[in-house]
Amino acid sequence: MAFLLSRRVTNCIARTLEICADSQSRFQVAACLPPVGATSVAIQRCLAGLRVRMEAAGVDQHFRTLKTFFSWYVESCLIGEHPVRIC
């Protein structure tokens, strides 16, 4: 995937790449939709579902990774609005 390639190019360590891939895949399975169709509600549901089976620190790691992931999507002009930004 292009997002993971962009992380490799910026010299992310292997563990960071694993975390990014894991968060991305968990989100896509939990939300049942591709990133382009993601909404804030879908992301909140995904994170709430993770909260049931993970500690807060793990959920926060997924949140931060998804935030980075969707920032990249916006910067790459693949989506218009950032669905993770919470006002």
Cβ atoms within 10 Å of 23's Cβ, excluding its own = 22
Q: 27, 35, 49, 32: which is closest to 83 by C-alpha?
A: 35
Pair 67, 84: CB distance under 8 Å: yes
Going by pLDDT thresholds of 50, 70 and 90, the confidence category of residue 57 is very high
**Amino acid (1-letter code) at residue 55:** E
Phi-psi region of 3 (alpha: psi -120 to 50; beta: other; left: phi over 0): alpha
- Nearest Cα residue to 43 out of 78, 86, 87: 86
- pLDDT tens digit string along 14-46? 888 888 788 777 777 666 566 777 888 888 888
